[in-house]
A and B are shown apart, each in its own frame.
Chain A
Amino acid sequence: MRIGVVTFPGSLDDQDARHAVEVCGGDTIPLWHAEATVQGVDAVILPGGFSYGDYLRCGAIAHRAPVMDAVAEFAREGGPVLGICNGFQVLCEAGLLPGALTRNANLRFVCRDVPLTVEATDTAWTGRFSQGQTIVIPAKHGEGRYVADPVTLDRLEDEGRVVVRYAFGSNPNGSERDIAGVTNAGRNVVGLMPHPEHAVDAGLMGGTDGRGFFDSVMVGLPV
């Protein structure tokens, strides 16, 4: 079982994502933005960071990188894909997830541990959580305010595709309906703003509540 972690120019949490998978007992390989292949991996993580500096709209350049053609193909075939922070932004830009991430409501970068409620446990990345479970993991972003038109938001809620929501009163960025992460119709692609990869190692700040994302995907993968 191998999980590929994509590195775009300006990816920052790519080594962190690999560390997290390995802490949870998985193997990882690096995937390079300029190569249009996912190298036969069993799951893909698009990590956090500032791809291409994010001087344009976040993720707008990254989603045109050659590797994204392969990731989109992999996702269409049902392969598990997790986008964290910048990775979530890239997935939205690529049309693999609905909605968009805009500047935080207070127009400041925020780095803070946030409590989340896990709402969907039928995705490739959240099966090990129980529905309604509260977890605390770090958020750190300047453009994490989830927005979509009301019809899309209603549909996401109706179809149970809001994966994690900021706990009441803890929305750090003004996201609509406190949405912190969503999934696609196939439940194999998940994007979220907070960073589960920074909450896996008991020796570091951030706690260990993020492990469930990586544990979940590995349960569903061939050993």
Chain B
Amino acid sequence: MSDTSTSPFPPEETLTPERARELGYELGLRGDEYDQLLAILGRVPTVAELGMYSVMWSEHCSYKSSKLHLRGLAHDEPWVIAGPGENAGVVDVGDGIAVAFKIESHNHPSYVEPFQGAATGVGGILRDIFTMGARPIAVMDPLRFGDPGGWTDGAGVEHPVDPLQRHLIDGVVRGVGHYGNCVGVPNIGGEVEFDDTYAGNPLTNVLAIGVMDRERLQLARAEAPGHLAVLLGSATGRDGIGGASVLASQEFDAGLDAKRPNVQVGDPFAEKLLIECCLELYERDLVSGIQDMGAAGIACSTSELASAASMGMDVDLDRVLLREPSMESWEILCSESQERMLALVDPEQLEEVQDVAHRWGVPAAVIGEVVEGDALRLTRNGQLIADLPARSLADEGPVYDRPRSRPAWLDAYAEVAAESLDATLVGGTLEAADGRPGRSLDEVALQFLASPNVASKRWMFEQYDQHVLSGTVLGPGMADAGVVRLPNSRRAVACSTDGNGRWCEIDPVQGTIRVVAEAFRNVACTGARPLATTNNLNFGNPERPEIMWQLAASIEALGAACRQLGVPVTGGNVSLYNETQGQAIHPTPVIGILGVLADAEDALGLAFEDEGDLVFLLGAPTVPGLAGSELQRWLGAPLGGVLSPADLELEAAISEVLQEAAREQLVTAAHDVGTGGLLVALAEACAAGDIGAEIELEGELAGLSPTQQLFSESPGRVLVTVASPNVKDFAELCADAAVPLTDIGTVTGERLTVRGLVDLELEALRDALEGGLTELLGG
């Protein structure tokens, strides 16, 4: 083994065997991982090598706990052009146009420094998109926070204002807005949930969508020896060093402040210039390969580019532009400074590349060269500081089959009597009401509509630019999915993100299936054909067998549901260790589904529009569905119950019906019955259209308790409106597809009335729904 006196490496890079093992441990490499590293190198690693392996083999970069299970997701459809393993999934949407999309998390950084954490989350996912050759055209932001407080729930319990949560909400929303607004990509939707399971570990997930000519697809490969590695973008600094290993791959304890230097700082202006520069380079066919620098910076991008092409690379760190010349080699390699890309360029085209970069004001530095073989060799001050097989960093990290065990708490959840709740009773049951009198459903409805999880998220999305790039057909709050028209085309894409930690906590399998079904249905409600899936798996510490069981069960359910619905998983992100002080978040897989509309003008919104239109419930019958529901949470009733299952065959049929109905212009609006149940769906459609409705629930529905009728979240139901001349055609369409259709009322007037249950003035309803959150969080 190593003898320091004859080491080819400079003394400051050389470690004794004992110190190397110790340092590896401090950097997060466990004993067996360090041994694996020794076996690969056949010697003691240098400081730089140790730094690189520790980051690249971290959970965040290597997916070592989830990799085994994620393999089960693979399934293809002819329209998928790029799938898992690439920077983003890419699907063919017809007319020679391809669309890239992906979701990613920036959870831990957003807790440590919410503004920059969220901002750089947007920046990172945008780079994944334009790395593929696509121009980013939209972002969406699924967020989770603890309860902001300052309101009274359905058990009459006052929730005190929580200044930390408000600080996080404010910072994350400002961060998402600042970056997206300043880089010039519209925000077309997302979702927000408040639950104290996230109080010590908020979730910031960001999804981005991009568009390109089909043949413009860029893949991250170093195809030819002699090509130069050009670092485009900002200078490299000490920000975000070790962010991937330290922040994303460990749970939090006290002493958060000490982690602040690990959070990166974003510069959306630099990103805007980088986007324009890269798109011009692609347009002029000047790069042979490109990779963004996200987690693990230069270490990651050089090894991944080389590994993907089975090549090697020589890299000279003296050529890297530094913000601080005193940076150590390992710091340069692992820095997560933002707004940087590594492009591979034919030496003959280097000058042209430099001209383009100069025009956009983007620094460009040649830092290396692709070589034959498989070695990644790095030099500093003319001396070799690392020499390792590129593949070992990028693709041969440890893979674990971690022990799993079914959480015992699932049985306790199943025991909870969820379906007998009565919304008119304080706390939902006679026992909880403790002699307190019942209240009217009208009173309940207005309070419920104004509660933080039900009220419109206008307070958030009004802080985001929804218009830039002139493509937004239906923005936040206007439809069940965001709809963006593609440049120079009649086509549009629709995208929805959905997640439900409460469902997944009480049943990770059925919960995940229902979330997939909901995202699928939301896309279908715009009239789009759902095409493909991306996912962000937010879970706790996988080293705990119960958490690992949740993760594996959820992934398996996700794979099966996506296969059955024909929406292949094209990529995504796994965020583990979402725990603070030993308390894991509810398992929160966030699912993004992308669909396509052949004609943007066919897109359906959720707003009730025309007086006299008939209102129908399309799809599955309403069944008891209060397990894990929003009503259960609002009433302060214990979480639990048994989730009523989604019928995926019916979901697919509903989607076909909605696509056909949109194309033939048979329906005027479509809105999924989701969180909060039918009452919320009706209220949202009335508020959005500024018109009332008279509803009468008969048949099976009337057989349920009033609480179930209004608040059940049983899956597979869509509210649609149809102008009377089209009713016959629409009914026939549904009958042919064997999708049940129930007439429940009419769009009319200035009240929302559900006969015998609630009768609300439109204005009061809108004040509750649209004003609830703004009142809580303030101007």
- A residues near B, CB below 8 A? 9-10, 12-13, 15-16, 19-20, 48-50, 52-55, 106, 108-112, 138, 140, 142, 195, 197-198, 201, 203-206
Q: Which residue of A lies closest to B180 (CB)?
A: A109
Given A15-B470, A111-B465: 19 more A-B contacts, CB < 8 Å: A10-B273, A12-B468, A13-B468, A16-B467, A16-B469, A16-B470, A19-B470, A50-B181, A53-B268, A108-B174, A109-B178, A111-B461, A111-B464, A111-B467, A197-B470, A198-B467, A201-B470, A205-B478, A206-B467
Q: Which residue of A lies closest to B467 (CB)?
A: A198
Shortest distance in angstroms between A31's beta carbon and chain B's nearest beta carbon?
15
B269 to A50, Cβ gap below 8 A? yes
Q: In the bound complex, how far is the Cα of B182 from the Cα of A140, in angstroms?
A: 11
Q: Which residue of B lies closest to A7 (CB)?
A: B276
Q: In the bound complex, how far is the Cα of B463 from the Cα of A48, in angstroms?
A: 16
Q: In the bound complex, how far is the Cα of B471 from the Cα of A16, in angstroms?
A: 9
Cβ of B178: which chain A residues have Cβ within 8 Å of it?
Answer: 109
A205 to B475, Cβ gap below 8 A? yes
Cβ of B352: which chain A residues have Cβ within 8 Å of it?
Answer: none
B472 to A205, Cβ gap below 8 A? yes
Cβ of A16: which chain B residues have Cβ within 8 Å of it?
Answer: 467-470
B470 to A12, Cβ gap below 8 A? no
If A10-B269, A112-B462 touch, does A140 touch B467 (CB 8 Å cutoff)?
A: yes
Q: In the bound complex, how far is the Cα of B467 from the Cα of A49, in angstroms?
A: 12
Q: In the bound complex, how far is the Cα of B471 from the Cα of A22, in angstroms?
A: 15
Shortest distance in angstroms between A203's beta carbon and chain B's nearest beta carbon?
6
A205 to B466, Cβ gap below 8 A? yes
B9 at the A interface (CB under 8 A): no
Cβ of B35: which chain A residues have Cβ within 8 Å of it?
Answer: none
A203 to B181, Cβ gap below 8 A? no
Q: Which 4 A-B pairs rank lowest in CB-CB distance, beginning with the nearest?
A: A53-B269, A12-B184, A198-B467, A106-B779
If A50-B182, A203-B600, A205-B474 touch, does A9 touch B467 (CB 8 Å cutoff)?
A: no
Q: In the bound complex, how far is the Cα of B468 from the Cα of A198, in angstroms?
A: 8
Q: In the bound complex, how far is the Cα of B137 from the Cα of A16, in angstroms?
A: 13
B485 at the A interface (CB under 8 A): yes
Cβ of A197: which chain B residues have Cβ within 8 Å of it?
Answer: 470
Q: Which residue of A lies closest to B360 (CB)?
A: A9
B182 to A53, Cβ gap below 8 A? yes
B361 at the A interface (CB under 8 A): yes
Q: In the bound complex, how far is the Cα of B267 from the Cα of A109, in angstroms?
A: 17
If A109-B177, A206-B467 touch, does A53 touch B267 (CB 8 Å cutoff)?
A: yes
Interface residues contributed by chain B, number (CB under 8 Å): 35
B473 at the A interface (CB under 8 A): yes
The 8 A CB mask of B170-183 against A (1 = contact, 0 = none) is 00001001100111
Q: In the bound complex, how far is the Cα of B174 from the Cα of A198, in angstroms?
A: 23
B268 to A198, Cβ gap below 8 A? no
Q: In the bound complex, how far is the Cα of B465 from the Cα of A55, in angstroms?
A: 18
Q: In the bound complex, how far is the Cα of B463 from the Cα of A110, in angstroms?
A: 5
A111 to B462, Cβ gap below 8 A? yes
Cβ of A203: which chain B residues have Cβ within 8 Å of it?
Answer: 473, 485, 600-601
Sampled A-B contacts (8; CB under 8 Å): A9-B273, A16-B468, A53-B182, A108-B463, A111-B461, A203-B473, A205-B466, A206-B467
Shortest distance in angstroms between A209's beta carbon and chain B's nearest beta carbon?
14
Q: Which of A10, A52, A140 contacts B465 (CB 8 A)?
A: A140
B273 to A198, Cβ gap below 8 A? no
A10 to B473, Cβ gap below 8 A? no
Shortest distance in angstroms between B487's beta carbon and chain A's nearest beta carbon?
9
Q: In the bound complex, how far is the Cα of B601 from the Cα of A164, in angstroms?
A: 31
Cβ of A112: which chain B residues have Cβ within 8 Å of it?
Answer: 462
Cβ of B182: which chain A residues have Cβ within 8 Å of it?
Answer: 10, 12, 50, 53-54
Q: In the bound complex, how far is the Cα of B462 from the Cα of A108, in angstroms?
A: 9
Q: Which residue of B lies closest to A20 (CB)?
A: B470
Shortest distance in angstroms between B197's beta carbon and chain A's nearest beta carbon?
28
The 8 A CB mask of B450-488 against A (1 = contact, 0 = none) is 000000000001111111111111110010000001000
B272 at the A interface (CB under 8 A): yes
Q: Which residue of B lies closest to A106 (CB)?
A: B779
Q: In the bound complex, how far is the Cα of B701 from the Cα of A153, in angstroms?
A: 62
If A55-B269, A111-B467 touch, does A204 touch B485 (CB 8 Å cutoff)?
A: yes
Q: Which residue of B lies closest to A13 (CB)?
A: B468
Q: Which of A53, A54, A142, A195 contacts B467 (CB 8 A)?
A: A195
Cβ of B601: which chain A residues have Cβ within 8 Å of it?
Answer: 203
Shortest distance in angstroms between B279's beta carbon and chain A's nearest beta carbon?
12
Shortest distance in angstroms between A6's beta carbon and chain B's nearest beta carbon?
15
If A53-B267, A53-B269, A106-B779 touch, does A9 touch B464 (CB 8 Å cutoff)?
A: no
Interface residues of B in 234-271 (CB under 8 A from A): 267-270
Q: In the bound complex, how far is the Cα of B174 from the Cα of A19, in angstroms?
A: 29
Cβ of B181: which chain A residues have Cβ within 8 Å of it?
Answer: 50, 109, 140, 142
Q: In the bound complex, how far is the Cα of B181 from the Cα of A47, in angstroms?
A: 14
Q: In the bound complex, how far is the Cα of B361 from the Cα of A198, in angstroms?
A: 28
A12 to B272, Cβ gap below 8 A? yes
Interface residues of B in 478-531 (CB under 8 A from A): 478, 485
Cβ of A111: which chain B residues have Cβ within 8 Å of it?
Answer: 461-467
If A9-B361, A109-B177, A142-B181 touch, does A204 touch B471 (CB 8 Å cutoff)?
A: yes
Q: In the bound complex, how far is the Cα of B324 from the Cα of A156, in angstroms?
A: 51
Q: Which residue of A lies closest to B464 (CB)?
A: A111
If A9-B269, A12-B184 touch, does A198 touch B470 (CB 8 Å cutoff)?
A: yes
Q: Which residue of A lies closest to B492 (CB)?
A: A203
B470 to A204, Cβ gap below 8 A? yes
Cβ of B472: which chain A residues have Cβ within 8 Å of it?
Answer: 204-206
Cβ of A55: which chain B residues have Cβ within 8 Å of it?
Answer: 269
The 8 A CB mask of B401-442 against A (1 = contact, 0 = none) is 000000000000000000000000000000000000000000
Q: In the bound complex, how far is the Cα of B178 from the Cα of A208, in angstroms?
A: 27
Q: In the bound complex, how far is the Cα of B361 from the Cα of A16, in angstroms?
A: 23
Cβ of B270: which chain A residues have Cβ within 8 Å of it?
Answer: 53
Shortest distance in angstroms between A214's beta carbon and chain B's nearest beta carbon?
13
Shortest distance in angstroms between A206's beta carbon and chain B's nearest beta carbon?
6
Q: In the bound complex, how far is the Cα of B463 from the Cα of A198, in angstroms?
A: 17
Shortest distance in angstroms between A208's beta carbon and chain B's nearest beta carbon?
13
Q: In the bound complex, how far is the Cα of B95 from the Cα of A109, in angstroms?
A: 37
A204 to B462, Cβ gap below 8 A? no
Cβ of A140: which chain B residues have Cβ within 8 Å of it?
Answer: 181, 465-468
Q: In the bound complex, how far is the Cα of B182 from the Cα of A55, in angstroms?
A: 10
Q: In the bound complex, how far is the Cα of B472 from the Cα of A198, in angstroms?
A: 10
Q: Which residue of B lies closest to A206 (CB)?
A: B467
Cβ of A108: which chain B residues have Cβ within 8 Å of it?
Answer: 174, 463, 779
Which of the listed residues B178, B182, B360, B600 has the most CB atoms from chain A within 10 Å of its own CB?
Answer: B182
Cβ of A15: which chain B residues have Cβ within 8 Å of it?
Answer: 469-470
If A111-B462, A111-B467, A204-B470 touch, does A52 touch B272 (CB 8 Å cutoff)?
A: no
Shortest distance in angstroms between B688's beta carbon and chain A's nearest beta carbon?
12
